[in-house]
Structure 1
Amino acid sequence: MEAPPVSRVSKKRKVTPAAPADIDRFDEANSARLGLICVQERIPSDYTRWDVQFVIDDRNARLTCISPSEYGGVPHGLDGDFATILNVMYLEQGAPEDGSVHTTAYQMLQRAGFADSGQYYAALQESLDRLKGATYTASESWRDHKRQRWTTVKFNIIEQIIADTQGDTSFGSGTSLKIQLARPVVQSIRERYLKPLDMTFVLSLKRSLTRSLYRVLDAHRYDPHNPQEPAATFRIQLQQWARECKLRETVPARIKRNLESAHTELVERGYLRSVTYEGTRAETVIVYEFGDLPATPPAPEPVIEVIPDAPVIDALRRYGVAPSVARKLVKDKGEQHVTTRLEKFEAMIRDGYQARSRSALLVDVIRDEEGKYPEPESLAPPPQPERPPARTRTELARREQEETERLTTAVEREFLALPPDEQAVRAVTQVRLFVGRELKEEHLRRLLIAMQAGEVVPYTMYREVTRAASELRLPEFAEEIRNIYGR
């Protein structure tokens, strides 16, 4: 299906690009820099693969994409808009460890700036299928931000799509979605390998070609080693730039023609000061000069709310257990079981148990169901600390109450500063975090719709589920949600 003509929810405002220091939204830096989405709005049906080779830090790197023809070829056009929105929503929902984004088809169109119409629901459905179907291999070109090194990863942008289409197979305004993002993308986001993203400016651009070129060009402004320092200019060999943009063209004149309209719009809007070409026809270099530099401070460090791993997962990782294995153990066995077995393992080590591999022993102790390991003698409850004097306890309680009130006020202020739709999603995410296992997706979807319709105040719901957790009333809270939204 060809990309539908751009018909935004409202007439586009000609906003000017924000200075990097003023941007408060972020995108995952690896996928942005690599340009996973072809910038072309339309592609031939046989364009099902591309392969790009380049150099990073004096090392050869490679990026490939293979996509089944039944999905319409490699990801392109509007796919970039939806992929970006998914990353933004994932960040807003606290970047949960499982990589899931909970939303609706209607909300995705609204956030991407598209009209509530059948053609755009069809375009969204096709885009998500392409993002799930296309397989990428980044060889020595995916940045492990935590360890400051380049790695090789193979992934699909979307790992899983669960769609409640209410009995139909096509997306519509009532379709609820649970979308699981690629593990490498999730890991990068959770480790805060991010680049600034001026979403207001992106949404104001007229064509998907311009938006796609803007995203890949803006990502190239930021040094992978220092993603808060935007460059004032960017120069690259023209044919290499065509490959970076995933164009099929190799003739310089055709490359220029394909990008001309996007260049014109970005210059007119002030993002670019100029686009010039240097060198011979065989060795043409394209030079971009950005319009918001110099004289702007560096981009801000990302300040995002990330739902952390359970403490027991971090403890397992400290003993050398791989993160994916640690998470699976907690998921399969339960946090209480893993914590108890971890304490048993630590007692065994204290008592002198010799292990060739501590991580392997720890995993085996956790998985053991046959009683292979007797209880260690030193596994005894720790001594209770002495109670502080009454006056000290009173002072500590007062300070703790003051700190709690201060944090509560800060959370409320931050929550209420969000747009209404984002408040609703944040509240549903909080409900899911505490009682998600006791509710069906239908309950949560109806709760989200009620908040979006103004029937429920999102912050009230956010506060109520948090209070229910502190007062040990979560079963009663879940029952109330089921009674109200289970009809």
Structure 2
Amino acid sequence: MARTRKSAVRPRQPGEIERFDEANSARLGLICVQERIPADYTRWDLELMVEGRVARLTCISPGEYGGVPHGLDGDFATALNMIYLEQGAPDSGEVVITAYQLLQKAGFTDSGQYYQALQDSLDRLKGATYTASESWRDKRHERWTTVKFNIIEQIDADTQDGTAYGHGTLLKIRLARPVVQSLREQYLKPLDMTFVLSLSRSLTRSLYRMLDARRYDPVNLAEPAEVLRISLQQWARECKLLETVPARIKRNLESAHAELIERGYLRSVSYEGTRAATVIVYEFGDLPASLPAPEPSLQVIPDAPVVDALRRHGVVVPVARKLVTQFGENHVTVRLEQFEAILAGGYQPQRPSAFLVDVIKDQSGKYASGQTVLPPAPKPARPAAKPKRLPQPDLAMEAEADQINDQLTREFRALPLTEQAARAVTQVRMFVGRELRDSHLKSLLAAMLAGDVDPLTVRDEVTRAACNLQLPEFAEALRAAYSDG
């Protein structure tokens, strides 16, 4: 099975990494690094030291899902965390994405084998129950807590044809509450996702994520260690390996070590001590260690209730936010009620989410009485009746929407400059974050805080660019204005 990757990618130094992952999940290594496991491997227990105290981590998974989460499951779990952050870290904990997009994010090709692998992985991530006793870091209160959770709390899959995932399957996935809280509180560690996607095997990718998390102090995530020493037996347990014989542990990890050394992430892997007390020593090659890890610059802003309402009807989060920004909450709410009234009248659109977006965007009144009738619905349940005449819309609706938008603008202006700038940067990141480096966004933020650039203008311009399909040009202008040089 082919995997999209760039074999020439070298690891970036920690201070240059612009992507992040949830630090608790990464440090605890919730996913077994082995690519294949026996079907009866349905439980593991781990004891670990947390600030001088013994803590415990347990995983119990139903046998029908193929054992505990392992192998590619780690790729999909990481991708979901990344996507959740990209979609603005909503308090609902929901990620809305197609199966195809999720495969692309995780670095896999559009093939039936990978769609089946994705479906199996999501089932395992939902079925496995974890208990972290006094080992889950609560960043807000700076303490260790006990949590019990499933990495995925709920999966809603619109599979259209049958039950198997395919290219157009729309997924609504709700992540575990403890993971969501950690992400929203920015308990994050840097993760070089480009390097992860370039690694050839799931074993190597899993071991890389484990090593990269283990080298950070869980209380102070500022600087990664240059050398990591750990008991070989303890390391095997933390990787959730079934092997306990030192020679076999070494052999299982040998290929992953070789690739990480070849790619420059590790400088060397060596062993110290006796056979009964072997210590594995990792020396990292992606430093200077004096370069600190970047501070997360994510801005988490609660969504308006109408955004959640649009999401429940299948509108993906970025589109929902764009609609509310463009038309205002009042306009979108009125059109949402109009949409629901049309459905209550018996109309069944082929794609409800697309129809809802069209109702919101409509400026011609085509859904009003006396104007263009609704498009034909597929396969009506009963003989088609004469098209229903829809009620006349409120003639003052557009003017009211303008008034609401003016009010929202005044409220934005009343915010402190720092909050205006943060919201503008969040808007830019949402639409063109992938096209910009973190340095561009930091320079833009500094310019707004210095009074050289108006945050409201930035917010409106990126929204206008999105509506006019000119986001690439907008991103290019920002890169030119705030380049490193």
TM-score by length of structure 1 reads 0.65
1:55 deviation in Å? Answer: 1.1
- The letter for the 2-side match of 1:66 is I
Structure-2 change in CA distance of 1:119 and 1:299 (3 Å): same
Give the conservation status (yes or no) of the 8 Å contact 1:74–1:130: yes
1:418 deviation in Å? Answer: 2.8
- Distance of 1:462 and 1:146 partners within structure 2: 40
Give the conservation status (yes or no) of the 8 Å contact 1:29–1:193: yes
Q: Is 1:107 paired with 2:101?
A: yes
Instruction: Pick one of 208, 215, 222 that aligns with 1:221.
Output: 215
Give the conservation status (yes or no) of the 8 Å contact 2:223–2:289: no
Who is 1:483 aligned against? Answer: none
- The letter for the 2-side match of 1:8 is R
Q: Is 1:245 paired with 2:252?
A: no
- Distance of 1:214 and 1:254 partners within structure 2: 19
1:413 deviation in Å? Answer: 4.8
- Distance of 2:120 and 2:21 partners within structure 1: 22
- Distance of 1:245 and 1:64 partners within structure 2: 13
The list of structure 1 runs, each at least 4 consecutive aligned residues, that deviate by more than 6 angstroms after superposition, is 396-409
1:410 deviation in Å? Answer: 4.8
1:12 deviation in Å? Answer: 2.5
1:398 deviation in Å? Answer: 13
Instruction: Pick one of 24, 28, 37 that aligns with 1:34.
Output: 28
| Aligned-residue identity in percent | 70
- Distance of 1:125 and 1:457 partners within structure 2: 38
1:461 deviation in Å? Answer: 8.2
- The letter for the 1-side match of 2:466 is Y
1:305 deviation in Å? Answer: 2.6
Q: Is 1:180 paired with 2:187?
A: no
SS state of the match for residue 234, structure 2? helix
Structure-2 change in CA distance of 1:165 and 1:141 (3 Å): same
Who is 2:204 aligned against? Answer: 210
1:460 deviation in Å? Answer: 1.7
Alignment of 1:6-25 (within 5 A): 7-9=2-4, 11-25=5-19
SS state of the match for residue 104, structure 2? helix
1:292 deviation in Å? Answer: 1.6
- Distance of 2:99 and 2:11 partners within structure 1: 28
- The letter for the 2-side match of 1:94 is G
- Distance of 2:412 and 2:58 partners within structure 1: 59
Structure-2 change in CA distance of 1:407 and 1:48 (3 Å): closer
- Distance of 1:185 and 1:397 partners within structure 2: 32
Structure-2 change in CA distance of 1:232 and 1:400 (3 Å): same
- Distance of 1:457 and 1:161 partners within structure 2: 34
- Distance of 2:412 and 2:167 partners within structure 1: 50
Q: Is 1:264 paired with 2:293?
A: no
Who is 1:276 aligned against? Answer: 270
- Distance of 1:414 and 1:240 partners within structure 2: 41
Greater CA drift, 12-21 or 207-216? 12-21
- The letter for the 1-side match of 2:98 is T
Number of aligned residues: 338
How far does the alpha carbon of each residue in 1:89-139 deviate from its partner, in whole angstroms, 9 at most, with x for none? 001111111110011100001111101000000000000000000000001
Alignment of 1:48-87 (within 5 A): 48-87=42-81
- Distance of 1:138 and 1:104 partners within structure 2: 31
- Distance of 2:25 and 2:185 partners within structure 1: 14
- Distance of 2:170 and 2:232 partners within structure 1: 43
How far does the alpha carbon of each residue in 1:16-59 deviate from its partner, in whole angstroms, 9 at most, with x for none? 10111110100000000000000000001110000011111111
- Distance of 1:157 and 1:289 partners within structure 2: 31
Alignment of 1:103-182 (within 5 A): 103-182=97-176
Runs of 5+ in structure 2 lacking a partner?
Answer: 306-409, 436-462, 471-485
Give the conservation status (yes or no) of the 8 Å contact 2:140–2:185: yes
Give the conservation status (yes or no) of the 8 Å contact 1:13–1:204: yes
1:143 deviation in Å? Answer: 0.6
Greater CA drift, 143-152 or 64-73? 143-152
Give the conservation status (yes or no) of the 8 Å contact 2:3–2:108: yes
- Distance of 1:304 and 1:410 partners within structure 2: 9
- Distance of 1:184 and 1:280 partners within structure 2: 40
Give the conservation status (yes or no) of the 8 Å contact 1:278–1:286: yes
Structure-2 change in CA distance of 1:23 and 1:405 (3 Å): closer
Instruction: Pick one of 455, 459, 467 that aligns with 1:460.
Output: 467
Structure-2 change in CA distance of 1:240 and 1:458 (3 Å): farther
Structure-2 change in CA distance of 1:284 and 1:95 (3 Å): same
SS state of the match for residue 90, structure 2? coil
Give the conservation status (yes or no) of the 8 Å contact 2:154–2:174: yes
Alignment of 1:362-401 (within 5 A): none
- The letter for the 1-side match of 2:158 is D
Give the conservation status (yes or no) of the 8 Å contact 2:80–2:95: yes
- The letter for the 1-side match of 2:178 is P
- Distance of 1:61 and 1:90 partners within structure 2: 29
- Distance of 1:408 and 1:69 partners within structure 2: 46
1:401 deviation in Å? Answer: 11
1:293 deviation in Å? Answer: 2.2
1:419 deviation in Å? Answer: 3.7
Instruction: Pick one of 284, 289, 302 that aligns with 2:283.
Output: 289
Q: What CA RMSD, in Å, does the superposition of the two structures yield over aligned residues? A: 2.8
Who is 1:235 aligned against? Answer: 229
Give the conservation status (yes or no) of the 8 Å contact 1:235–1:286: yes
1:417 deviation in Å? Answer: 3.4
Give the conservation status (yes or no) of the 8 Å contact 1:101–1:178: yes
SS state of the match for residue 54, structure 1? strand
Instruction: Pick one of 76, 89, 95 that aligns with 2:89.
Output: 95
- Distance of 1:26 and 1:398 partners within structure 2: 29
TM-score by length of structure 2 reads 0.66
Structure-2 change in CA distance of 1:398 and 1:258 (3 Å): closer
